[in-house]
Amino acid sequence: MASGNGEKTRRALLDATRELLESPGATNAGLERIAARAGYSRQAVYRHFGSRAGLLKAALADIDERAGAAASVERILGAGDASAVLDDLIAWWAGYVEGFAGVARSVYAGRTVDPGLAAAWEDRMEALMGVCRLVVDRCAAEGALRAGLERPVAAETLWAMLSIPLRDQLIGDRGWSRAEYRERIGSIARTALLSAPVPV
């Protein structure tokens, strides 16, 4: 277990990293700047996170942890039926992204030239893929997955629909409101992934 001072140092480094990532130019979030902003040395980063890439991964994962993302996903998976699961996931995600959109854009933009940012982005995208697999498994267990649609393909399709760059394009470039984004992506997801309801 980390000591009180150790946890204080860790928290300061994570907060400093997020602050720098939220500002323009994520690739400028080097160890010197992060450490200086947190009030510690570069050695503190190595001691607590092993490397800059380790710190960047931890900083993005910390966003999920502090927001209670795991508990939200568990609640979503317990929704009434497959359609409700998809609706709840997309509604939650649409609101959740608002809280870290600046960080996500910054990391996404810098990932092609910064291996640390690339590693952090891939780590979070794999975590999102894990959520999509759980949702698809939940739909399949109910027998609601579209006939002939393989689970891996369904999970990858859902993952693509939750893409942050796609969201930014639809809301920022095409002028969708946040409510329209939730409703339209939810409708597309249900149509693409779920079997048509059986007429009563």
Same domain, 127 and 48: no
Same domain, 99 and 179: yes
**The domain containing residue 20 runs over which residues?**
4-53
Same domain, 69 and 31: no
Same domain, 35 and 115: no
Are the beta carbons of 181 and 94 closer than 8 angstroms? yes
Q: What does the block give as tokens for 110?
A: 């810098």
**pLDDT tens per residue, the chain (200 residues)?**
455 678 899 999 999 999 988 877 666 778 888 999 999 999 999 999 998 899 999 999 999 999 999 999 999 998 789 999 999 999 999 999 988 888 888 888 889 998 999 999 999 999 999 999 999 999 999 999 999 999 999 999 999 999 999 999 999 999 999 999 999 999 999 999 999 764 44
Are the beta carbons of 25 and 107 closer than 8 angstroms? no
Q: Tally the C-alpha atoms within 13 A of residue 165's C-alpha that lie toward its C-beta.
A: 7
CATH number for the domain including 27?
1.10.10
Are the beta carbons of 56 and 120 closer than 8 angstroms? yes
Residue 200: its pLDDT value, please? Answer: 40
Domain count, the chain: 2
